[in-house]
Amino acid sequence: MSASESSPSSQISQSLLDQQETESQPQISPQNPKKLALLPLVFLIYFEVSGGPYGEESAVGAAGPLFAILGFLIFPFIWSIPEALVTAELSTTFPGNGGFVIWAHQAFGPFWGSLMGSWKFLSGVINLASYPILCVDYLKLVIPIFASGLPRFFATFISTLVLSFLNYSGLSIVGYTAVGLGIVSLCPFILMSLIAIPKIHPSRWISLGEKGVKKDWTLFINTLFWNLNFWDNASTLAGEVEQPQKLFPKALFSAGILTCLGYIIPLLAATGAIPLDQESWVDGYLASAGEMIAGKWLKFWIEIGAVLSIIGLFEAQLSSSAYQLLGMANLGFLPKIFGARSKWFNTPWLGILISTVIALVVSFLDFTDIISSANFLYSLGMLLEFASFIWLRVKFPALKRPFKVPMGLLGLVVMCLIPSVFLVYVLAVGTKAVYLVSALMTLFGVGWYFLMNLSKSKMWFEFNLG
């Protein structure tokens, strides 16, 4: 049977895809012909997920070297690879800005597409708020005046504005900046690993931890989960990528290799080269390990690398959030003005502005429960994403998929079920405060959907047809 003679559902789905490509991909003017190439896309995905081995230390502190090493070897196969495969298939099938919003919309309709957008956007901008604070936390080690009070406020405010302006200056600039930040922030770990080779005692790798130190499995799983997550965030940039059907799978594969090696090699070097002091393995301990292996100069470089990594994380997340709003405007979930682009840089200036303002507001709150709630919302969004992936295979079996996960329906269900168990675990261990804040933000998302529908019917704002 030829493509022209295929079933009505496949014809409808192909029509939807053609419409999606037309609406979601921006028209590139002669003054701004550049789209995102492979290398910057690789590093943007890398910073969406990882940004380097910073933050993996808690796995050793929670469960000891052996379990930490096994965790960073095995967990990518049961979490990262399934999420990356889902992202590769759906980003190449629906290559428009909006990413996961488009997927949920096509699978279950506009309500779920809009709610997915609310969950993921709120999760993203709340996490975005933490990065300038982390930068200031490192800065205060050199300039103590930034530890508290008005100086800390202004340092956070100014750093947020400066980093946001870099994002406004163009996605291509952000992408190549990410390349530079990634290389410089990884270099000290490459040196540490090379210098550590003659000092390594392999027997240290099989240690189950120090006697008397209790295992913290919740911390261990959370450390693995959040250090190997967010592969789908870059999907909101698909409309900005040169030949996304070809580049997205390559970029995801390359970023996956870079991320996994970036975690496991420094972990093997540090745990193998220095005696185990398990309770010292907390966030930032790799800098101290670098000092023990090579000297204070390496500790200083690793700390600088941490700041550069945070900058990369901020830029990648802000890009994802801003282009998500642009994609939602293209779909008609938001007023058309949300899709406005800068005449100078072709960037979604309103999306960048809104994301920055919300991040600033959150950064000046006591936001421990808010951050946990953002992760809760992200987990809900991921469950909806896996469901959308499975249902799109059922709903549109003949839809052209430039990259297709080579499994039947049962295999796909099993592939998605395993990471879904971890998502349910994250949801189950939430506190009452997290449940309350998450419920309020979900109600806001539901209310926003009906408010936008009312705005369309009353013609309060101009919308794309979607």
pLDDT digits over 188-198, tens only?
999 999 999 99
Which one has a higher pLDDT value, 172 or 3?
A: 172
Query: What separation, in Å, do the N-terminal and C-terminal C-alpha atoms of the chain show?
Result: 32
Contact 103, 389 (CB under 8 A): yes
- Mean pLDDT for all residues in the chain: 89
* Cα 198 from chain centroid (whole Å): 36
**Using CA of residue 405, residue 409, residue 411, residue 413, what is the dihedral sign?**
positive
Q: How crowded is the C-beta side of 58, counted as CA atoms within 13 Å?
A: 15
pLDDT score recorded for residue 23: 39
pLDDT score recorded for residue 377: 94
Contact 169, 345 (CB under 8 A): yes
Q: Measure the CA–CA gap between 191 and 214, rounded to whole angstroms.
A: 33
pLDDT score recorded for residue 137: 82
Q: Measure the CA–CA gap between 188 and 186, rounded to whole angstroms.
A: 6
Confidence of residue 28 (pLDDT cuts 50, 70, 90): very low
Q: Measure the CA–CA gap between 364 and 153, rounded to whole angstroms.
A: 8
pLDDT score recorded for residue 33: 46
pLDDT score recorded for residue 147: 80
pLDDT at 8 > cutoff 60 = no
Confidence of residue 145 (pLDDT cuts 50, 70, 90): confident
Q: What distances in angstroms separate CA 18 from CA 10, 13, 25, 240, 258, one per listed residue?
A: 12, 9, 11, 17, 34
User: What region, left, alpha or beta, does residue 283 occupy, with left being phi > 0 and alpha being psi -120 to 50 degrees?
Assistant: beta
Strands (E), 285-382: none
Q: Measure the CA–CA gap between 215 and 178, rounded to whole angstroms.
A: 36
Domains of the chain: 33-458 (1.20.1740.10)
Name the maximum alpha-carbon separation found in the chain. Answer: 73
